[in-house]
Amino acid sequence: MTVLITGGAGYIGSHTCAELLGMNREVIAVDNFCNSSAAAIEKINKITGKKLTFYEADLRDEAAMDKIFSAHKIDAVIHFAALKAVGVSVAEPITYYDNNINSTLTLCKTMKKHNVNSVIFSSSASTYDGNSPMPLTEDSPQKAINPYAWSKIMCERILRDACFADKSLSVVALRYFNVVGAHPSGLIGDTPSGIPNNIMPFIAQTAKGLHKELKVFGNDYPTPDGTCTRDYIHVMDLVRGHIMSIDYAAENSGFEVFNLGRGEGISVLEVIQTFERVNGLKLPYSIGDRRPGDNPESYAGTAKAAEMLGFRAEKTLEDMCRDMWNYQKGSCN
C-alpha cells in the first residue's frame, strides 16, 4: 500500500513519514516548505536509513498534484498540510481559508481523478465548543472561535459531503488534542517559527534559556490547582493513531471521526513540575493574567477510538517532557 503524506516535512507529518518508512511501507511525501524545511526530509532519511520519495509542491497547484498522482499508484492519503497558527489566522483569515480549504479541495479533485478513495484528515479538538461538558466526545457540538478552527470544521464538512455523494470514499477525520513530544531519536520535533504560543515548545525553549520565564496564563480557574487543564498526547502515539486509521479506512467506507487524546486533563502546573522532575532542571515561571479565549479544561472522550480503531495512547506525560527536552537540547532554536 502506497501512502501519500501531505505536509510531510512538518511536525506531525515528518514523524509519520519516519514511522511508516521504518515499517517498510511505501511512502511519498509532499510539502511546500511554507512552515518547514528540507532539513526535516534529511533527518527522516537519517532516522530510517532510507530515502523518502519527496516532492516540493503546493497542494493548491493542480498540475503539480496531478503529476504526483500520475507518477505513483497511491492507495491512501494522510492530509496534514495546513496553516495552524491560531493568532495569525485571526489577523489573516483569507490566507488561512485559501490555504487550508483550497488545498483540501484540490486534493479531493485529484484523488477523484486518479481513483484514490481513502484519506485521513488532520482535524483538531479546537473545532469543539469549549463550553461543552467534559469529556469532549465525537458527538459534542462543534463551534470554532477562530478562522483556523473554522477552516478545520469546513474541511470536515467538505469531506463528509463528498463521502455522502460517493459511497466508495473513505474518510477518517482525527481530532487531535494537544500534541507534544518529539521523536525518540531527538532528530525531529516541533519547530515553531518565532516565539511559540503553545506551552510545551515555550517550556522547552525557556529551559534552554531562550526566554526569561514562562508566564502561566491564570491560576484562578475552577480547576484543582487553579490553572487550565489540557489533554496532552505524545506525537508518536498520535502517529500510531494515523496508521491504525489507514488500516481502518482500507476496510470501511464512509466518513468517520475519532478523537486522539489520552482522556485526562493535566494542569499547567503539573506540566511544569513534571518537566522539571524528569529532566532534573528548574524552570523559571510566574503567574500572569488569563489568556483570552482559553477554556478552563479540555480533555477527550477516548472510548470511540478505543473501540473502533483499537487506539489507546501509551506514552505518559513523563515521556512527553523527556522527549521534548531531548529534542530541544540538540536543536538550534
Contacting positions for ligand UD1 (CB under 6 A): 86, 124, 126, 149, 178, 197-199, 202, 214-217, 228, 230, 268, 291, 293-294
Please say which residue, 84 or 240, places its beta carbon nearer to ligand UD1.
Answer: 84
| Shortest CB 61 distance to ligand UD1, Å | 27
CA 305, 308, 310: angle at the middle one, nearest 5? Answer: 70
Please say which residue, 118 or 229, places its beta carbon nearer to ligand UD1.
Answer: 229
Please say which residue, 33 or 202, places its beta carbon nearer to ligand UD1.
Answer: 202
Please say which residue, 48 or 124, places its beta carbon nearer to ligand UD1.
Answer: 124
Phi and psi based region of residue 257 (left: phi greater than 0; alpha: psi -120 to 50; beta: remaining)? beta
Q: Find, among 27, 35, 96, the residue nearest to 68 by Cα.
A: 27
| Shortest CB 12 distance to ligand UD1, Å | 11
Q: Which residue is nearest to ligand UD1 (CB)?
A: 228
* Contact yes or no for 298/199 (Cβ under 8 A): no
Using CA atoms of 110, 113, 116, 122 in order, give the dihedral in degrees to the nearest 10: 20
Q: Where are the beta strands (DSSP E) in 118-231?
A: 118-124, 170-176, 178-180, 214-217, 229-230
| Shortest CB 119 distance to ligand UD1, Å | 21
CA 117, 260, 206: angle at the middle one, nearest 5? Answer: 125
Please say which residue, 52 or 320, places its beta carbon nearer to ligand UD1.
Answer: 320
| Shortest CB 269 distance to ligand UD1, Å | 9
Any idea which residues carry the catalytic annotation? 148
Alpha helices in the chain (DSSP H): 11-22, 38-48, 62-71, 86-91, 93-113, 147-165, 199-207, 235-251, 268-279, 303-304, 317-330
| Shortest CB 82 distance to ligand UD1, Å | 11
